[in-house]
Structure 1
Amino acid sequence: WTLTGHMNYPRYGHTASLLANGHVLVTGGYGSTGYLNSAELYDPSTGLWTVTGNMSYTRYVHTASLFANGHVLVAGGYGSTSYLNSAELYDPSTGVWTVTGNMNDARYFHTASMLANGQVLVAGGYDNGIYLNSAELYNPSTGVWTVTGDMNYTRYRHTASVLTNGQVLVAGGSYVGNIFLNSTELYDPSTGIWTLTGYLNYARVLHTSSLLTNGMVVVGGGRHIAGVDTNTVELYNPSAGIWTDTISMGYNRSLFIASVLTNGNVLAVGGFLAGNSSELFKL
């Protein structure tokens, strides 16, 4: 690992999006001055961060989705005083944010998935004491959010992965009363219906979920019970609908990042108890 340039603002609970020009856009989060609406760009050719346009709203634990036209949609999160249903679009060519249609439900710790048809599916989350099972679709051509089928379980702090067949797999998360879930379900964009699939071997929140090059999904880490991080890892086989335990990570990790590399391996970095450690999951 080699140190690179510092961001202009310290932050956590932010988003990071790889743009078509190779720059990385980070947005929002929480820093030394509180909740942030700032955004900045990282240039890998220079290692420098440059401030770009501010979002219209401060946001923390929101989502960011990259469209084929290069625009970035941020949605929801928590602002300075409330949970947000607002959404806005970033145009890399101008560095300007434009407010777009509001979601039907305010939410944070939700998921956002880019579907094959170019729409964005958001699912679940939390809103001021309410655990959500609702889901909705953003149409970039109209800027409108449309309610779609509800998940079978309310959940937040879960994960979502778009499978090779276009369906979306959500896994784990927290239920009413902060009960951790081992249930998983599939969203079919052609019908708008959620269907339960195989159960995780371990209930978990604050984990990661990655689509592998072989079409399987690897879920790792998170927490099985409140306050206790785990290193367990399991694989989902879409053709069988079954989760299978695989080799555990070397460190217990929650709130970490997992990235699928070009060689198909998965890089796990950091986490609540894992410090500056990183490790590779090899296919």
Structure 2
Amino acid sequence: MAVGCQPETQAPTLESRAGALAGEVGTWTPTSAKTYPSTSAILLRGTGEVLDPYFGFVHRYDPYTNTWRAMNPMCSPGYCSNAVLTELPSGKVLAGVMFAGRMGGTPGMMLYDPGTDSWSHANASYSRGSVTLLDSGKVLLAGGYTYLGGNLVPLATAREYDPDSDTWTPLPGSMTTPRYGHSATLLYSGKVLVTGGASSEAPAELFDPSTGTWTATSPMPHPGGEHRALRLYSGNVMVLVTTMGASETPVDMYDPYNGRWFSGPALPFTQPTSATLLYSGEVLVVNNAGQAALYSPTQNAWLPAASATASTSRGAAVLLHTGEVLLLNGSTPVAERFSR
């Protein structure tokens, strides 16, 4: 349980300090052998296990016994791929799935029940956009893309899925900018911050569940491209901005209490593929080359971390109940645990 204090009346002015540790932080330890690489994974909070589907095959990892076990398949193996996983208040997992077909496949949504190890189709429309669990227990489905006349068309549409009634409802307002490949971050206020995406200069925007409407935020320093975003314990949102041809990754911080952006210390490597908030409040960031660093909010600086196994395809990173991070390789059947 996290206990916080009242937000500051003014955004804190962070001073970046280079007080990094002399050596690398943390260690990586391989898990027991697994059968498949990983495209996405999620922690099952009820059991502490990790759900890890891969093109229809499904495994669950038990961090307490360090064992993997095969579960019932999501679909006929090889005929579906998983894009996004979201745990619902019931403990079930909502999965955005791409079934085999033309134009990258046919999108759909499924529900996984960990208690019965069973999959079922959900009555929700998946458009390859962001999926965010709201404080109400409903799920925001925003943006994505479709094909018209063989051309990829970004979407600005938004819908809410109600898992209790297994129904989805179009929202009265659309996003200010059509986008896909974006990040959506739930704020303490219950609003959702959306950043990045395929649009080259897509502005950041906020979704208000109480009205179902969208508004643009103040200008973001690095508005376009692919982002990794997460909410810090302070309530600020850290956004790691992927830029081509750079030697480091710009970090933009959003202060929701004052509605403004400010710069954080640049990540000392490029192309981050995962960012995980630890119980300590630090943030572990890893890229496909295996480079890793820890953001220290108290020092407002990046600390060098031990290197992970390299990959040629993005895997998932999951914070375990033990406080360790399980990093799943996207190109080889390798998984390893990071200990601070």
TM-score (ref. length: structure 2) = 0.73
The question of whether the paired residues in 2 share the 8 Å contact of 1:133 and 1:155 is answered with: yes
Q: Which residue of 2 aligns with 1:189?
A: 256
The question of whether the paired residues in 2 share the 8 Å contact of 1:216 and 1:238 is answered with: yes
Identity across matched positions, percent: 31
| Among 325, 328, 336, the residue aligned to 1:266 | 325
Distance 1:136 1:168 in 2: 13
Greater mean deviation of Cα atoms: 142-151 or 114-123: 142-151
| Among 72, 92, 112, the residue aligned to 2:163 | 92
The question of whether the paired residues in 1 share the 8 Å contact of 2:229 and 2:238 is answered with: yes
| Among 119, 129, 132, the residue aligned to 1:65 | 132
| Among 162, 172, 190, the residue aligned to 1:118 | 190
Give the letter for the 2:83 counterpart. H
Q: Following TM superposition, by how much is the alpha carbon of 1:59 offset from its aligned partner in structure 2, in angstroms?
A: 2.0
Q: Which residue of 1 aligns with 2:174?
A: 102
Q: Following TM superposition, by how much is the alpha carbon of 1:13 offset from its aligned partner in structure 2, in angstroms?
A: 6.1
The question of whether the paired residues in 1 share the 8 Å contact of 2:274 and 2:316 is answered with: yes
Correspondences of 1:1-283 after superposition (within 5 Å): 1-8=68-75, 10-12=79-81, 14-29=83-98, 31-33=100-102, 34-55=104-125, 58-60=126-128, 62-80=129-147, 81-100=152-171, 101-127=173-199, 131-174=200-243, 178-180=244-246, 182-205=249-272, 207-222=273-288, 230-252=289-311, 254-271=313-330, 273=331, 275-283=332-340
Distance 1:125 1:208 in 2: 16
Give the letter for the 2:124 counterpart. N
Distance 2:317 2:237 in 1: 18
The question of whether the paired residues in 2 share the 8 Å contact of 1:63 and 1:111 is answered with: yes
The SS at the match of 1:82 is strand
Change over 3 Å in CA distance of 1:28–1:145 after alignment to 2: farther
Q: Following TM superposition, by how much is the alpha carbon of 1:240 offset from its aligned partner in structure 2, in angstroms?
A: 2.2
What are structure 2's unaligned runs of at least 5 residues?
A: 1-67
TM-score (ref. length: structure 1) = 0.87
Distance 1:210 1:133 in 2: 24
The SS at the match of 2:153 is coil
Distance 2:224 2:275 in 1: 15
RMSD (CA atoms): 1.9
Change over 3 Å in CA distance of 1:220–1:193 after alignment to 2: same
The question of whether the paired residues in 2 share the 8 Å contact of 1:70 and 1:91 is answered with: yes
Distance 1:30 1:194 in 2: 39
Give the letter for the 2:338 counterpart. F
The SS at the match of 2:154 is coil
Distance 2:221 2:121 in 1: 41
The SS at the match of 1:79 is strand
The question of whether the paired residues in 1 share the 8 Å contact of 2:132 and 2:139 is answered with: yes
Q: Which residue of 1 aligns with 2:10?
A: none
Q: Return the structure number with greater relative CO, CA threshold 8 A, min gap 6.
A: 2
Q: Following TM superposition, by how much is the alpha carbon of 1:190 offset from its aligned partner in structure 2, in angstroms?
A: 1.3
Q: How many residues align?
A: 264
Q: Following TM superposition, by how much is the alpha carbon of 1:254 offset from its aligned partner in structure 2, in angstroms?
A: 4.0
What are structure 1's unaligned runs of at least 5 residues?
A: 223-229
Give the letter for the 1:141 counterpart. S
Distance 1:137 1:28 in 2: 26
Change over 3 Å in CA distance of 1:37–1:96 after alignment to 2: farther
Q: Following TM superposition, by how much is the alpha carbon of 1:250 offset from its aligned partner in structure 2, in angstroms?
A: 2.5
The SS at the match of 1:264 is coil
Q: Following TM superposition, by how much is the alpha carbon of 1:124 offset from its aligned partner in structure 2, in angstroms?
A: 1.4
Distance 1:133 1:182 in 2: 18
Greater mean deviation of Cα atoms: 161-170 or 181-190: 181-190
